[in-house]
């Protein structure tokens, strides 16, 4: 920096900040405490000083600059080298630089000096640019917002799911039994067969600030151990929390919310920066049936032909942890298309206890109950054989 002289007590300094509005902090630091990954803009701004000395251009007069608190902003060279005040009167040296351990700005031939301020950490809150000379100070206040959506952003939501959505069972791993229950029904996170929904986050920027959402971080979280978030559709790698960056249109990359075969109410939460967290979305994930037991009630495997309705079969569905599954719709029919047995209903809904299926023994012969998931033809689970004999 060229030689100069300290601005005297009769001097004055005007401060102009190039960026209108807040700067953004970072929410992601590397092992050295420096910002990691793409930054949400603006996170830095040029600052122009207009230095006057006794109401004249302060050519050669220098002032000191510091930040309060010091961790809020870093001082540096002008971002716009073509901007007024970036270089001295010879167009060679910057007008602002570190001199003798302090940041100093010297007025050029127009009395102008330019430097930059940059948010380099996760500090958010007020920050002051303080210019001092001859026991005088001039201050400019800046606000550093947390990385993420500003409060004025709207339409902040998850796309691909909505509150009270029902995630149906796939029935791909359903086994059948007429009596015995196996010792193990497998992993509740079956490799290659995890149910999922593709989702992404979206927001609308505040009026007049269309670019403020670019690289804004948003946090998607699951509120249940029976759900996870994944960057791939196979859900092989899952976490309970993902940090995503919005693009220039205010949309995040697509991710997948993954559901275990245990199911249950699954909550999803969305938050970002200064924007209050949205109310959690709750999904109703139906437990994946792993075992369907279709039994003949004890003593009902041999019936006399009558016209009387009798309780003949019991049906129970179990999840991966051998818990009965309630609120499951099943279709029932007879394997033999004869008049041996007549069912009194074509479908049943499982409750907290086994569902009982009534039948009327019409004529001698044998028959079996067939049970399938509602509106599906497979898998088809059969009961044991019921024999109807003629009434003596």
State whether 99 and 170 are in the same domain: no
State whether 232 and 158 are in the same domain: yes
The per-residue pLDDT for range 113-152, each reduced to its tens digit, is 999 999 989 999 999 999 999 999 999 999 999 999 998 8
pLDDT band at 181 (very low <50, low <70, confident <90, very high): confident
State whether 383 and 331 are in the same domain: yes
Query: Which of 127, 145, 163 is the C-terminal boundary of a domain?
Result: 145
At 238 the pLDDT is 98
Mean pLDDT, residues 72-83 taken together: 97
Backbone φ/ψ region at 121: left (φ over 0), alpha (ψ -120 to 50), beta: beta
**DSSP labels, 180-195:** ---S----SS-TT--E
- Residue percentage of the chain with pLDDT more than 90: 84
Between 3 and 16, the higher pLDDT residue: 16
State whether 119 and 219 are in the same domain: no
At 289 the pLDDT is 95
State whether 334 and 219 are in the same domain: no
pLDDT band at 32 (very low <50, low <70, confident <90, very high): confident
Asked whether the predicted pLDDT for residue 2 surpasses 70, the reply is no
Q: On the CB side of 190, how many CA atoms lie within 13 Å of its CA?
A: 18
Provide the token pair at 71: 């961790």
pLDDT band at 213 (very low <50, low <70, confident <90, very high): very high
State whether 385 and 329 are in the same domain: yes
At 179 the pLDDT is 86
State whether 131 and 207 are in the same domain: no
Nearest CA among 47, 46, 52, 45 for reference residue 110: 52
For the chain, report the end-to-end CA distance as a whole number of angstroms: 119
The per-residue pLDDT for range 350-374, each reduced to its tens digit, is 987 889 999 999 999 999 999 999 8
pLDDT band at 1 (very low <50, low <70, confident <90, very high): low
Who contacts 182 (Cβ-Cβ below 8 Å, separation ≥6)?
Answer: 175, 291
CATH number at residue 382: 2.60.40.10
Cα(39)–Cα(27) distance, integer angstroms:
9
Cα(71)–Cα(61) distance, integer angstroms:
28
Asked whether the predicted pLDDT for residue 210 surpasses 80, the reply is yes
392 alpha carbon, distance to own chain's centre: 70
Cα(374)–Cα(380) distance, integer angstroms:
11
Comparing 62-76, 296-310, 328-342, the range with the smallest average pLDDT is: 328-342
Query: What is the domain range of residue 54?
Result: 5-145
Mean pLDDT, residues 78-92 taken together: 95
Query: Which of 251, 285, 319 is the C-terminal boundary of a domain?
Result: 285
What residues does 373 pair with on adjacent strands?
330
State whether 30 and 65 are in the same domain: yes
- Residue percentage of the chain with pLDDT more than 70: 99
Q: Within 10 A of 147 (CB to CB), how many other CB atoms are there?
A: 26
**How many domains is the chain built from?**
3
Nearest CA among 18, 90, 103, 16 for reference residue 60: 90
């Amino acid at each position: 920096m060229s030689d100069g002289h300290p601005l005297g007590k009769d001097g004055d300094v005007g401060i102009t900040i190039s960026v209108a509005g807040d700067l953004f902090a970072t929410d992601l630091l590397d092992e050295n405490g420096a910002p990691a990954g793409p930054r949400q803009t603006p996170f830095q701004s040029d600052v122009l000083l207009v230095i006057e000395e006794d109401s004249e251009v302060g050519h050669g007069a220098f002032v000191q600059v510091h930040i309060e608190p010091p961790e809020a902003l870093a001082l540096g060279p002008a971002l716009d080298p073509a901007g007024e005040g970036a270089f001295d009167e010879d167009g060679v040296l910057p007008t602002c630089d570190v001199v003798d351990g302090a940041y100093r700005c010297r007025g050029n031939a127009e009395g102008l000096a330019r430097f930059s301020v940059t948010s380099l950490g996760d500090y958010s809150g007020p920050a002051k640019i303080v210019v001092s000379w001859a026991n005088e100070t001039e201050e400019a206040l800046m606000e550093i917002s947390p990385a993420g959506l500003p409060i004025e952003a709207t339409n902040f939501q998850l796309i691909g799911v909505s509150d009270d959505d029902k995630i149906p069972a796939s029935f791909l791993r359903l086994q059948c039994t007429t009596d015995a229950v196996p010792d193990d029904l497998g992993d509740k996170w079956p490799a290659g067969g995890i149910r999922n929904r593709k989702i992404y986050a979206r927001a609308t920027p505040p009026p007049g600030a269309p670019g403020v959402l670019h690289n804004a971080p948003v946090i998607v979280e699951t509120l249940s151990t029976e759900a996870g978030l994944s960057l791939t559709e196979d859900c092989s790698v899952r976490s309970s929390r993902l940090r995503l960056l919005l693009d220039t249109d205010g949309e995040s990359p697509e991710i997948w919310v993954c559901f275990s075969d245990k199911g249950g109410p699954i909550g999803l939460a969305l938050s970002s920066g200064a924007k209050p967290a949205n109310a959690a979305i709750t999904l109703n994930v139906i437990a994946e049936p792993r075992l369907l037991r279709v039994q003949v009630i004890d003593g009902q495997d041999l019936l006399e032909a009558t016209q009387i309705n009798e309780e003949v079969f019991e049906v129970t569905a179990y999840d991966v942890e051998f818990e009965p599954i309630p609120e499951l719709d099943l279709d029932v029919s007879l394997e033999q298309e004869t008049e041996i047995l007549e069912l009194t209903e074509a479908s049943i809904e499982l409750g907290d206890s086994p569902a009982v299926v009534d039948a009327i023994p019409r004529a001698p012969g044998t028959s079996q109950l067939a049970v399938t998931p509602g509106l599906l033809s497979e898998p088809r689970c059969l009961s044991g054989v019921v024999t109807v004999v003629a009434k003596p």
